[in-house]
Amino acid sequence: MRAYVPTGKAHAGQPHVVLAELPQPRLRPDEALIKVEAYSVNRGETFKLEEPGASWRPGKDVAGLVVQQAADGSGPEAGRRVVGHPMGAGWAEYAAVPTSALAELPDAVTTAQAAALPLAGLTALRLLRAAGPVGGRHVLLTGASGGVGHYVTELAAAAGAYLTAVTASPERGARLRELGAHEVVHDVTEAAGPYDLVLESTGGPTLPAALSRLRRGGTLIWFGQAGRTPVTLDFFDFFRGPESASLRHFHYMDFPESYADDLAALVRLVAAGRLHPELGRVTDWADTATTLVDLRERRIRGNAVLTVS
């Protein structure tokens, strides 16, 4: 089969991948073999490609067809359309996916929509679960223009949050308003607050600026470092800021719920028209290298999906 593999080399500051011939995956008893029809690429993967591990291959968001059911009899049968979240190696014609990370697709959900769901959708869903009830709460979301930000905006707005989204682009801000954001600002310093909850994914100077906008007893949940700039936090400023505020870290993998259940929930929301994957680009997988560069340089709004020809 053909699959993209990292070279570990960079050109003009950008990581390289090449299309190579590899054997089909060897399946564990709880894994199904998926014929990949589409996959999504994530900005975090572009960073990992700079220094890939010896055996690591990219690809955590796939959609396609089950061609071999798991040997233990679990999961979807052969012939079923599915969305999956393997831990890697999904940028390929075939992928091995644990049945605990697979969900079946109804006809109402396209393969491209499904491929855009796993990493970004799971992160958004579980982030809001970690935050607790958001109905009626004032929420500040930084880094809102990416795939996770679009999902968080729509899910939080549907749950009744009064959401302020931070994005540098007026065009992307208009789309976030369509998805339910009550307010859009182009820099965190323009956010007035105070906020009950801050969802922060940029890092650098953004985190302390966002932290200072919490109300008393508020919570900041840090879930990303998109700016790739370390955070410097002056705790004297913290103590002079909102009293009894809390600062928490979040990672979407730190949950007992199975990926399969949460993927199925996301699929149901899309099928019902209550969640809209933001497909900023859908193109043939021959364009993977170009798409990686454009995603890294923030030239793609939302998710980038590659279709396997």
Q: Domain 123-249 has what CATH class?
A: alpha beta
- 164 CB burial (10 A radius; 0-12, 13-18, 19+): buried
Where are the domains positioned within the chain? 2-117+277-307, 123-249
What's the pLDDT at 227? 64
Average pLDDT, the chain: 92
pLDDT band at 32 (very low <50, low <70, confident <90, very high): very high
What's the pLDDT at 235? 74
Give the closest residue to 196 by CA, choosing from 223, 220, 168, 227. 220
Which residues on adjacent β-strands are paired with residue 64? 36, 82
Q: What separation in angstroms does the CA of 260 have from each of 97, 112, 205, 257, 302?
A: 11, 18, 36, 8, 23
Segment 63-72 mean pLDDT: 98
The pLDDT tens digits of the residues spanning 137-151 come to: 999 999 898 889 999
Q: Does 2-117+277-307 carry CATH code 3.90.180.10? A: yes
Crossing angle of the two packed helices 118-131 and 147-158, in degrees rounded to 10: 40
Cα–Cα distance, 30 to 259 (Å, whole number) = 14
The pLDDT tens digits of the residues spanning 148-203 come to: 999 999 999 999 999 999 998 888 899 999 999 999 999 999 999 899 999 999 88
The pLDDT tens digits of the residues spanning 43-65 come to: 888 888 887 877 889 999 999 99
pTM value surpassing 0.75: yes
What's the pLDDT at 22? 96
What's the pLDDT at 228? 67
The pLDDT tens digits of the residues spanning 227-255 come to: 667 777 777 776 676 778 888 999 999 88
Cis check: omega of the bond before 194, within 30 degrees of 0: yes
Residues across the chain: 309
